[in-house]
Every structure is written in C-alpha cells, then in structure tokens.
Structure 1
Amino acid sequence: MTIYNDLNRVDFKCEDPQQLQEVANTASNAAANLLIGVSALGSLMFWSADNEEYSPEQAKEDMYSIGAMLMPLAEVVRALSDNAENARFVARELVKGGQHGS
C-alpha cells in the first residue's frame, strides 16, 4: 500500500456536478501549487550551492530532509491529478446522462 492508494478517490458518491467540479478544481490547484513549490526548491538549492557560508554538513542535512519530503510527493501529486480527472469524468457523465438538468 502506498500514500497514492490512501489519497486517490475513484468512487465519487456525490451526484452534484457542481460539487464534483469543485473537487476537480481543488485537486488541480493543489497539484499545480505543489509542483510550483518543488520548482522553487530546485531554484533555492541551485543558488545556495554557490554560497560559501552554507556548510557541507548543513547542505547534507537539508538534502536529507528535502529527499524525505520528495519521495512521497510524486504520489501525492499523482493522486490529486487523478482525483481531478475522476471528478471531471463523473460530472460529465452525470450531465450527459441527464440526471441533472442545466
């Protein structure tokens, strides 16, 4: 079992297309923001590499911490992205099926 399996939703019991769209938007925004943060970490790491006051010991400790965060992060982003797509799919199917008039 992985964090992806704990976070991923495939059975949206909600039958309200508006709520499903909100789930999709929230998950998409969260995934995008996490990726922006990872990019910022890369930039920070790149620029701190030339700082002479940044000790090798501190760099090693920071790299360990960042690595511990990044290992499960890909699965979190993947689950959020899949949740967004699953919610959009269910919302489209509900509208196509005429279960909710628009």
Structure 2
Amino acid sequence: MHYAFKPLHSRIHLRRESLIMSDIYNHLVRNNFSAMSTEELKDLRKHSCGAHSGVMAAMSAIGELAFWSAENESYSNEQSRDDLRRIGEALMYLPQIAEALNDTAQHAQFEIHHREGFPQW
C-alpha cells in the first residue's frame, strides 16, 4: 500500500487487529490537502483535533468503567462479559481511528504552514 505521507509516528498493530480492520486507518486518513482550500484545511484540522480528543477521552472512560465495574459486587458475570465484549470491540477500532484523526490534523497543519508560512520561534 502506498502512502502519500509517511505516518508521523510509528503505528503498532496487533496481528488480530491488522487482520480484522487492515484498512480502517487508510479509509479515515486524508491526504488530498493540495486540492483543499486553506479554510477547508483549517476546518478539517479543527474537527480532526476535536474528534481525536473525543476518541482519547472515550478510551480513558472505557478503562475507568471497566476498572470500577470489577469492584462492584452486584455486577453479574454475564453483564460483565457482555460489557467487556463491547468494550473490546470498540477498543479494536478506536486506536486506529484516533491515529488517523491525529495524522490528518497534523498533515493539515503542515499544509497550512506551507501555504501561510511557518511560525517564527
């Protein structure tokens, strides 16, 4: 598979995840920035950053939910298994979704800097 951009950070894929959803990252990440207006890029960056933040918050909340539900004596084994299955299903997709959103936001920011000039440090 050819990437227009190299990922900004290395991606770690578990073998099972790679087999199940080998293309989710490539379906989500955007790379046609030269065809977009600067305003479209800014909008894409804003929404990608916001969605990335939301996905990361969801993963944290899922972890806390799983941890604290294990401490609840009235939480049945059947309910626990059902919840863990759903959490596992979500967590199989969320890291690659978050990664695609983050990479898209960073690539959009780079294109904006390329057009408008890089910030002066």
Is this a same-fold pair by TM over 0.5? yes
Q: How does 1:1-102 map to 2 (within 5 A)?
A: 1-12=22-33, 13-14=35-36, 16-96=37-117
Aligned to 1:100: none
Instruction: Quote the Cα distance in structure 2 between the aligned partners of 1:66 and 1:43.
Output: 11
Distance 2:80 2:71 in 1: 11
Alignment RMSD (CA, Å)? 1.2
Residue type at the aligned position of 1:6? H
**What is the aligned length?**
95
Q: Which has the larger radius of gyration?
A: 1
CA deviation after TM superposition for structure 1 residue 36, in Å: 0.7
Higher-helix-fraction structure:
1
Query: Which amino acid in the other structure matches residue 29 of structure 1?
Result: G
Instruction: Check whether the contact 2:46–2:105 (CA below 8 A) recurs between aligned residues.
Output: yes
AA at the equivalent of 1:53: S
Q: 1:26 Cα deviation (Å)?
A: 0.7
Give, in whole Å, the separation in 1 of the partners of 2:94 and 2:71: 27
Which runs of no fewer than 5 residues in structure 1 stay unpaired?
97-102
Query: Percent sequence identity over matched residues?
Result: 36
Counterpart of 1:5 in 2: which secondary structure? helix
Q: Distance in 1 between matches of 2:71 and 2:91?
A: 23
Query: Normalized against structure 1, the TM-score is what?
Result: 0.86
TM-score normalised per structure 2: 0.73
Instruction: Give 5+ residue unaligned stretches, structure 2.
Output: 1-21
SS in 1 for 2:88: helix
Q: Quick one: distance in 2 between partners of 1:86 and 1:50?
A: 42
